[in-house]
Structure 1
Amino acid sequence: MTDPTLAAPRLKGLLHRADTLWPGLLVCALAALAAQFLSDHYGAPAMLMALLMGLSLHFLVEDGERCAPGIGLAARTVLRLGVALLGARISFEVFAQLGLQVVGLIVAALLATMAFGWLAARLLGRGWRLAILTAGSVSICGASAAMAIAAVLPRNDLSERNLSFTVFGVTLLSTVAMVVYPILSNLLGLTDLQSGIFLGGTIHDVAQVVGAGFSVSESVGETATTVKLIRVSLLAPFVLVLTVALRRAGVEDTTADKRPPALPAFVLAFLVLAFVNSLGWLPAVAQATLWALSKWAMLTAIAAVGMKTDLKRILSVPPQSVVLIFLETAFIAAIVLAGVLFLA
């Protein structure tokens, strides 16, 4: 039996911890709820709205210790939870549906965009952290990838600013692409299959891929969504390889009390959920529930990231950073489009 003399202080500590965290968590959750409301009723990107609301509430971190601990937890732990639950959406059947050529094209586009981002960042005088963050976000799954990559990158005094800028940039460019790319695919005379691969392989965020694909036709929408899920499934392997590479280079995050694990827990959870779902062991109701929880966790986390970021620092982002993320977006569009035309 548990010793009551030990249980009481432990319970008291947990209650104190909860009392410290709940105001900040509540504020972040309300910001996420408001962002989703704006998205549902006015068509605004939910991620972008959550970030902007967070930026407007930065004073809660600056001026008040009451909300700061909960906001910090949301930006860190809730973020990792949201990324982990993304695995429930992944099934390795999507690889078989489109064949090795299309999967090869998506992987090649990822690798090429990472290399291009690294080179472009050097030429523009930007740091390697920003290069990995922006190129990874552009080539995998937009804001979700940005937050997952930022979770394992070594931190510095520009980390919060760079993450907020990247989320803002990829979400804005993804929204523009949602409108422009279907028109472009129509002008180029792409078939439904080609259009689906192009839209799913180039647009950053899942919601915008769905919007762009189904605005053309149902078959294009289904293909685009499948291709996008292949890109999302590359998130965990990419973060794992990045973590190992940072450790071998001796530049992993040293701000924590202990050395980070070679396989982060949220990446392991992502892979386990994807494996379970691929085996058909995850009921449709559970899959939908976990996907919804992932979406809410990500919205809550991005609101928290916005709250931790000073808007003045976002506005002070050098123009070279804007050019970098734009060039990376244009590059992956060119690579995937060339691949689609070649495969045809």
Structure 2
Amino acid sequence: MSATHVLAGAPTDAGLTQSLGAMEGLPLGVAATHRKPGSGARALLFAVYPGLLAALTIALAATWLSQHYRVPVMLFALLFGMAFNFLHQEGRCVAGIDFVSKSVLRVGVALLGAKITAGQILGLGVMPLVTVLVAVTSTISLGALASKRFGQSRAFGVLTGGAVGICGASAALAIASILPQTEDSERDTILAVVTVTALSTIAMITYPLIAALVGLDHAQAGIFLGGTIHDVAQVVGAGYTVSPQTGDIATYVKLLRVALLLPAVLVLGLAWRGTAARSGEARGKLPFPLFLLGFAVLVAAGSFRLLPPAAVDAASALSRWCLVAAVAGLGMKTSFGALVKVGWRPVALIVTETVWIGGLVLAATLLWR
């Protein structure tokens, strides 16, 4: 065989481009410089599917490990995502990672409303309602007021106060989506999620011991655990460790805190919108969060029993997957180095907020004996 025949069989630049394009999921014959994915939904899917697929893969791995090793799934998703930070530096995954950390996140938060009903909230009685309302409001206020003393922005204080006061990682993600976006916003969100998740795990182990030490009965222990522990999963784990009655009450109290996510995010969004307007910033930077409307609609639908149990279970499961994938996406947008640089002060602020809400709810529970 002659050299001419060998060269004739070698791939040309165009052929090589087509081959590499096929490796990325592009049809053969479409050169990289002439990709025309179309428009609308097809173009969106074409742009986001590599990053979305990466986030879902991390979510699957995190879920499997969480189920087998009893470690919070959000923590696994964050750490794995951060290990794949290079995917967000450049390449075809960037658009999908941005999509999953924003749009998929909002869908997950909206679907949280499916498992909350007005009957559950009103059935708790006056004491838990007042205690939770005061605890959530004061914790967010504490974060906003104490943030400067810890060398942090007020937005970070509100973000962490909401995460500690309402429902951990889910609240952090929801509140972050309506706060003004800066170059440190995503790093701050990841830091809040990591720290709150770690503290919630510690609380799941230690708070039942505290409840037993101070002599709380099963109902009081449920109010204490549901009113203080950050994440829903850890509340359930701690509550049912004590007793089935404690677990049920703790879950309902926790869902009451989750229900406060809607008014809290709405009020905070309007407050920041007013601040932006007074400072001359464009109001369009803080649009109304439509996912809150979906949250409210699902709460109303569940309260009037318009949703069958199968639909509620499906919405809850989908919400969980969306949030885990969103956390994985946020992890891929953050590097370990960026978190290390922030130092101990933001962690100390979150610990202070955690101690505050824990002490406040415990004192209220003891006073209402």
TM-score range, shorter chain: over 0.9
Equivalent residue, structure 2, for 1:57: 84
Which of 37, 57, 62 does residue 64 from structure 2 map onto? Answer: 37
Report the counterpart of residue 206 of structure 2 in structure 1.
180
> Gaps spanning 5+ residues in structure 1: where?
1-8
Partner of 1:287: 312
Distance between the aligned counterparts of 1:251 and 1:118, measured in 2? 20
Distance of 1:129 and 1:178 partners within structure 2: 27
Provide the rounded CA distance (Å) in 2 between the counterparts of 1:17 and 1:167: 28
Does the 8 Å CA contact 1:117/1:132 hold for their aligned counterparts?
yes
Deviation of 1:10 (Å): 9.5
**Pairwise CA distance, 1:12:** 5.0
> What is the TM-score when the length of structure 1 is the normalising length?
0.93
1:317 alignment counterpart? 342
- Residue 53 of structure 2 aligns with which residue? 26
Asked if the contact 1:47/1:302 (under 8 Å) is kept, the reply is yes
Alignment-derived partner of residue 28 in structure 2: none
1:129 to 155, 179, 183: 155
Q: Give TM-score, length-normalised by structure 2.
A: 0.87
Q: Deviations over 1:2-51 (max 9, x none)?
A: xxxxxxx9955543332221110000000001010011111010011001
Question: Which amino acid in the other structure matches residue 297 of structure 1?
Answer: C
Q: Verify: 1:327 aligned to 2:352, yes or no.
A: yes
- Alignment-mate amino acid for residue 40 of structure 1: Q
CA contact under 8 A between 2:277 and 2:283: conserved in structure 1?
no
Asked which structure has the greater RCO (Cα within 8 Å, sep 6+), the reply is 1
Q: Which segment is superposed worse, 278-287 or 10-19?
A: 10-19
Q: Whose Rg is larger?
A: 2
The residue aligned with 1:296 is 321
In structure 2, what residue type is equivalent to 1:304?
G
In the alignment, what sits opposite 1:6? none
- Is the contact between residue 37 and residue 43 of structure 2 (CA under 8 Å) also seen in structure 1? no
Kindly state the Cα deviation for residue 95 of structure 1 after the two structures are TM-superposed: 1.9
* CA-based RMSD: 1.9
How far did 1:126 drift? Answer: 1.3
1:131 CA drift (Å): 0.2
SS of equivalent residue, structure 2 residue 91:
coil
Per-residue deviation, 1:256? 9.4
2:300 aligned partner:
275
Letter in 1 for 2:205: V
SS at structure 1 position matched to 2:155: helix
| Cα pair 2:276 2:282 within 8 Å, conserved | no
Does the 8 Å contact 1:154/1:251 carry over to 2?
A: no
Q: Which amino acid aligns with 2:247?
A: G
**Which residue in the other structure is 1:219 paired with?**
245
Change (3 A) 1:176 1:280: same
Q: How many residues align?
A: 334
Q: How does 1:181-220 map to 2 (within 5 A)?
A: 181-220=207-246
The answer to whether residue 142 in structure 2 is matched with residue 119 in structure 1 is no
